């Protein structure tokens, strides 16, 4: 592969949303950039429920009909007793996309800025080489060594790159939500433009979802440290009375499984000439497991910092640290809050979740956790022991 015989300013590992956005910005700023993907096809295999916020308004990426399957107006939160609360507008609208096409679209967009892409190319080692790195890549059984000044590791939940350069990653099973999902046809949603999220013992320490996707629905769930496998919980969920038989005639056209790293961000996301982004860095909401938008934005930040460092010929730890400063400023508070909310949610029984649901009247405009906690405590004072941290 021709892309593998050069040296580069920036090598980005992993062509998911984080890697494609990082390489896009690095190339845009004039850095000679290589994006390396182990799969033979970018976007495959999919491990995602495919809901994204309004990428057109946030990143100026057109909501292209090639990958948008459904436009979302919001979502329903469903308590174990079936109480259904609509959350509409604000941050809850967006799209359900076809990730296989979306991820490829983002990679093509990056290539149009000048990024070279190597597919079916697995990074097997990174070692310090003078002031830069030597990245070893296995492509079709051949090993290539690429010299680069900066590495951006965007290699997802199973990332091994941080450890290769001496940074700590998170590998605790209690910090990874184990997920299983069917894409099904002949199923029905409550509303074709609303997400559905189901909480409680249907998915211990996680939640179950039904997302509309045009002709199909994504039906899945994530669990942490549960007695049964995610797939067993999923098969039970499909016939759970709480969904009123809407999946009785549904049949799968695809099965997906994977992990979401919901334990919060890793301790340190950079070192000299090195940054780690996306799921690999724990840049994903611990509460919802949503990570696409965050990965994309943190990728953009990493790509911009890489571009600047190359421009100023300074890839020192201090220069690279701007990446962490910038993404922390934007997202650390949100991730810490979501982690706190998740830890509280995980302790609640079905009855307690029902009590919270019953304390909410009408639709919500946004999920204002402290406001919801206050209402719930007023109605069921026994919830104070869990919710006092939120008031």
Ligand X SMILES: Cc1cc2nc3c(=O)[nH]c(=O)nc-3n(C[C@H](O)[C@H](O)[C@H](O)COP(=O)(O)OP(=O)(O)OC[C@H]3O[C@@H](n4cnc5c(N)ncnc54)[C@H](O)[C@@H]3O)c2cc1C
User: Binding residues for ligand X, per CB under 6 A?
Assistant: 13-19, 36-39, 47-52, 122-123, 154-156, 179, 181, 220, 258-260, 278-280, 284, 289-293, 295
* Shortest CB 46 distance to ligand X, Å: 8
Closest residue by Cα to residue 272 from 72, 121, 110, 128:
128
* Shortest CB 259 distance to ligand X, Å: 6
Environment class of 160 (CB within 10 Å of its CB; exposed 0-12, middle 13-18, buried 19+): middle
Neighbours of 363 (CB within 10 A): 12
For ligand X, give the closer residue by CB, 190 or 374: 190
The region, left, alpha or beta by phi > 0 then psi within -120 to 50, assigned to residue 264 is left
For ligand X, give the closer residue by CB, 151 or 353: 151
Per-residue tokens: 5: 């015989």
Closest residue by Cα to residue 156 from 99, 216, 228, 75:
99
Contact 108, 25 (CB under 8 A): no
* Shortest CB 9 distance to ligand X, Å: 18
Strands (E), the chain: 8-13, 33-36, 51-53, 68-72, 74-78, 84-88, 94-97, 116-118, 121-129, 132-139, 142-153, 176-185, 194-198, 207-213, 216-223, 251-261, 270-271, 274-276
Name the β-bridge partners of 116.
34
* Shortest CB 375 distance to ligand X, Å: 28
Contact 371, 388 (CB under 8 A): no
* Shortest CB 110 distance to ligand X, Å: 12
For ligand X, give the closer residue by CB, 4 or 36: 36
Residues 209, 267: Cα–Cα separation, whole Å: 30
3-state secondary structure 65-113: CCCEEEEECEEEEECCCCCEEEEECHHHCEEEECHHHHHHHHHHHHHHC
Contact 102, 295 (CB under 8 A): no
DSSP state of 258: E
For ligand X, give the closer residue by CB, 306 or 376: 306
Sequence-ordered list of residues with C-beta below 8 angstroms from that of 81, at least 6 positions apart, any chain = 350, 354, 357, 358
For ligand X, give the closer residue by CB, 203 or 353: 203
Q: Which residues are annotated as a binding site?
A: 18, 37, 48-49, 51, 99, 123, 279, 291-292, 369
Residues 38, 132: Cα–Cα separation, whole Å: 22
Q: Which residues are annotated as a binding site for FAD?
A: 18, 37, 48-49, 51, 99, 123, 279, 291-292
For ligand X, give the closer residue by CB, 49 or 61: 49
Neighbours of 54 (CB within 10 A): 16
For ligand X, give the closer residue by CB, 31 or 154: 154
């Amino acid at each position: 592969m021709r892309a593998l015989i050069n040296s580069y300013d920036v090598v980005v590992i992993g062509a998911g949303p984080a890697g494609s956005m990082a390489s896009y910005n690095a190339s845009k700023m004039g850095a000679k950039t290589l994006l390396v993907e182990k799969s033979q096809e970018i976007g495959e295999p999919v491990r995602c429920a495919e809901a994204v916020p309004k990428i057109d308004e946030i990143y100026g990426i057109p909501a292209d009909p090639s990958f948008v399957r459904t436009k979302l107006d919001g979502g329903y939160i469903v308590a174990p007793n079936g109480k259904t609360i609509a959350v509409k507008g604000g941050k809850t609208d967006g799209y359900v996309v076809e990730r296989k096409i979306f991820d490829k679209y983002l990679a093509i967009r990056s290539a149009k800025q000048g990024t070279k892409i190597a597919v079916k190319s697995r990074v097997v080692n990174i070692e310090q080489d003078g002031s830069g790195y030597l990245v070893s890549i296995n492509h079709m059984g051949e090993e290539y060594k690429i010299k680069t000044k900066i590495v951006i590791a965007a290699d997802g939940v199973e990332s091994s790159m941080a450890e290769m350069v001496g940074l700590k990653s998170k590998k605790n099973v209690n910090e990874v939500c184990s997920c299983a999902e069917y894409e099904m046809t002949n199923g029905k949603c409550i509303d074709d433009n609303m997400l559905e999220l189901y909480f409680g013992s249907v998915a211990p320490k996680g939640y179950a979802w039904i997302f509309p996707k045009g002709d199909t629905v994504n039906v899945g769930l994530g669990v942490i440290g549960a007695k049964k496998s995610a797939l067993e919980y999923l098969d039970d969920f499909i016939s759970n009375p709480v969904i009123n038989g809407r999946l009785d005639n549904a049949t799968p056209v695809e099965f997906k499984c994977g992990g979401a790293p919901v334990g919060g961000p890793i301790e340190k996301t950079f070192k000299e000439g090195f940054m780690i982004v996306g799921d690999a860095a724990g840049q994903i909401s611990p509460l919802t497991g949503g990570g696409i938008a965050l990965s994309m934005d943190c990728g953009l930040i990493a790509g911009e910092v890489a571009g600047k460092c190359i421009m100023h010929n300074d890839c020192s730890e201090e220069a690279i640290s701007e990446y962490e400063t910038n993404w922390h400023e934007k997202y650390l508070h949100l991730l810490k809050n979501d982690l706190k909310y998740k830890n509280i949610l995980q302790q609640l029984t079905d009855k307690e979740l029902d009590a919270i649901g019953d304390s909410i009247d009408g639709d919500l405009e946004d999920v204002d956790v402290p406001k919801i906690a206050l209402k719930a405590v007023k109605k069921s004072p026994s919830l104070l022991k869990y919710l006092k941290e939120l008031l």
